[in-house]
Amino acid sequence: MIDQLRDRLRQTGFTVDGVFGLLGADAHHALGRNETTPARRATADGSPLATVVRLFQLQLSVPRDDAERALPGLVDALVAAEVLAVSGGEVRALVDVRPYGDEGHDWWVVADLTPGLDQQPVEVGSEHVLGISEASNSLAQLTRRDPVARALDLGTGCGVQALHLSTHADAVVATDVNPRALWAARLTAALNGVDVDVRDGSLYEPVAGERFDLITTNPPFVVSPPSEERLVYRETSFPGDDVVRRVVQGSADHLEPGGWCQVLAAWVHADGQPWEERLSGWVAPTGLDAWVLQREVLDLASYTEMWLADAGARHRPDYVEQYDRWLSWFTEQGVEAMGFGWIQLRRADRAVPSVRVESWPYEVVQPMAPHVTAWGDRTDALADGDVLDRAWRQADGLVQDTYGRAGASDPERIVARLTSGPCRTASLDTVEAGLVGASDGDLTAGQLLEAIAGLLGEDASEVRERYRPSVRTLVEEGFLTP
Ligand SMILES: C[S@@+](CC[C@H](N)C(=O)[O-])C[C@H]1O[C@@H](n2cnc3c(N)ncnc32)[C@H](O)[C@@H]1O
């Protein structure tokens, strides 16, 4: 049945481009905002593609005849598989199936029905399986895509990360604790004809004793007061942000040499302890290289409002009571704010691991994956001898802005600016600007500094020593690459 369904969805044109073509840009964007009205108007003709969109994306009942025309010979089997339900002469979907893709693939992802369409109250049960979210997209763009032997998608949910992993890993294992997520992830994999080993269990329990070249995870990191009504897609029974600490620390036993663990994460700022110190403390026992990038810090009121809205609590009679309960609990726990960000871990087996923990709340141009790889390459290069003895290259896409009085012959300020990944800037003096400008992988940084010293009439060895820390910083921040 699943092979027939795949063939039929393809024949109807139920792909990202096909649906976009049917709906048009405005209705497509409205649907992205959970508004179905423009899409209803664009799918009123009863054609097979319109019927499939109405069923699986707009959550509309369609006449059985239309459903039979769109999915010939499949309706009864899909009812038996609990994908569709029939009532009277009408058919409706019990799950959301949506086209999804990357540059080279057209896929479908199966998840629970999207809550809160058309301003309806959000109702989600504890075992709700979240569809593709902003967080899923962000993790997908963060994940390195080099070919690997074994990859793990920890907390697979609808199975979207596993689909991406299947494009560059020989074997993919996906885990979850939610039986409904295991069902959805298996269905997603089967519908796309992709081989994923979906396993039941918490964190690394289902992969005890196994190692991977790549672990990718968007764990349920919402920090909330204990409750009977825990939403498994976002919360665990681990206290506070301990789920993220466990993911980080557990990865050390499951990475092959050279392997990576890439985590979308949140952490508390608590008890007056600098967050950098807390995160460094998580990483230290692992012996892994780490790059922790905090993207955002939310105050507790904004954080509480966001997650109460996510659970549909906003319009409930006890909203104020719940809001107060969250804030009281944060106070009791010593939580002061919540940080969100990305944790990259890499098994480099160094005597002294390289750990970089930083805040970058500014622009990031996705995809980040190449910049994660580049961080690894720079870390290796920096660990390999004197920074002045190596020939560096200017990073791709590095541009320079100069500031000064209009018409002045020399700029007052030179700023180097990266135009992809974290779009960092660095204010450069004349020597640094000369060094970056001349770094084309030919002469070493030391040779370039000596030449610049000669041009400026300064002592070469003094210039070398003075600029050694700047060269290191320019490499650490990605302006120069090996
Ligand atoms: C935020 S969702 C991420 C889903 C999907 N990977 C994505 O990128 O969209 C977190 C997933 O972790 C699962 N989960 C919850 N507790 C877990 C645990 N202790 N061990 C493994 N997975 C867990 C949830 O069921 C949910 O599917």
| 49 token code pair | 């593609």
Distance 176 CA to ligand 1 centre (A): 6
Q: Where in the chain is the domain with CATH 3.40.50.150?
A: 134-364+373-380
**Rounded Cα–Cα distance for residues 89 and 157 (Å):** 33
- The CATH number for 134-364+373-380, chosen from 3.10.180.10, 3.40.50.150, 3.60.10.10, 3.40.50.80, is 3.40.50.150
Nearest CA to ligand 1 atom 8: 136
Q: Angle 160-162-164 (CA atoms, 0-180°, nearest 5)?
A: 80
Nearest CA to ligand 1 atom 7: 136
How buried is residue 468: exposed, middle or buried, by Cβ count under 10 Å (0-12/13-18/19+)? middle
How buried is residue 333: exposed, middle or buried, by Cβ count under 10 Å (0-12/13-18/19+)? middle
Nearest CA to ligand 1 atom 19: 202
**Rounded Cα–Cα distance for residues 187 and 185 (Å):** 5
Residue environment code for 237-247, b if the CB has 16+ CB neighbours within 10 A, otherwise e: ebebbebbbbb
Helices (H), 284-398: 300-310, 319-333, 369-382
Nearest CA to ligand 1 atom 11: 155
Distance 184 CA to ligand 1 centre (A): 12
pLDDT at 228: 81
* Contact indicator for 155, 210 with CB cutoff of 8 Å: no
* Contact indicator for 151, 174 with CB cutoff of 8 Å: no
Nearest Cα neighbor of 19 from 11, 28, 31 is 28
Each of the 482 residues of the chain gets a pLDDT tens digit; together they read 899 999 999 999 999 999 999 999 999 999 999 999 999 999 999 999 999 999 999 999 999 999 999 999 999 999 999 999 999 999 999 999 999 998 899 999 999 999 999 999 888 899 999 999 999 999 999 999 999 999 999 999 999 999 999 999 999 999 999 999 999 999 999 999 999 999 999 999 999 999 999 999 999 999 999 988 889 999 998 999 999 999 999 999 999 999 999 999 999 999 889 999 999 999 999 999 999 999 999 999 999 999 999 988 888 999 999 999 999 999 999 999 999 999 999 999 999 999 999 999 999 999 999 999 999 999 999 999 999 999 999 999 999 999 988 888 788 899 999 999 999 999 999 999 999 999 999 999 999 999 999 999 999 999 999 999 999 999 999 999 99
Helix then strand count (H, E) for the chain reads 17, 20
Ligand 1 atom at shortest distance from the alpha carbon of 131 = 9
**Rounded Cα–Cα distance for residues 113 and 473 (Å):** 48
| 17 token code pair | 């481009």
Distance 260 CA to ligand 1 centre (A): 19
**Rounded Cα–Cα distance for residues 275 and 293 (Å):** 11
Distance 132 CA to ligand 1 centre (A): 12
**Rounded Cα–Cα distance for residues 148 and 93 (Å):** 37
Residues 6+ apart with CB under 8 A from 197: 171, 172, 173, 174
pLDDT at 156: 98
pLDDT at 55: 97
Pocket of ligand 1 (CB under 6 A): 130, 133, 136, 139, 154-157, 160-161, 175-178, 181, 202-203, 218-220, 232-234, 236
* Contact indicator for 338, 298 with CB cutoff of 8 Å: yes
Distance 158 CA to ligand 1 centre (A): 9
**Rounded Cα–Cα distance for residues 91 and 86 (Å):** 5
pLDDT at 328: 97
For the CA atoms of the chain, what is the radius of gyration? 26
Query: Within 13 Å, how many C-alpha atoms sit on residue 38's CB side?
Result: 15
pLDDT at 406: 87
Instruction: Match 């649907």 to its residue by tokens.
Output: 31
* Contact indicator for 214, 169 with CB cutoff of 8 Å: yes
* Contact indicator for 225, 201 with CB cutoff of 8 Å: no
| Bridge partners, residue 171, by sequence | 150
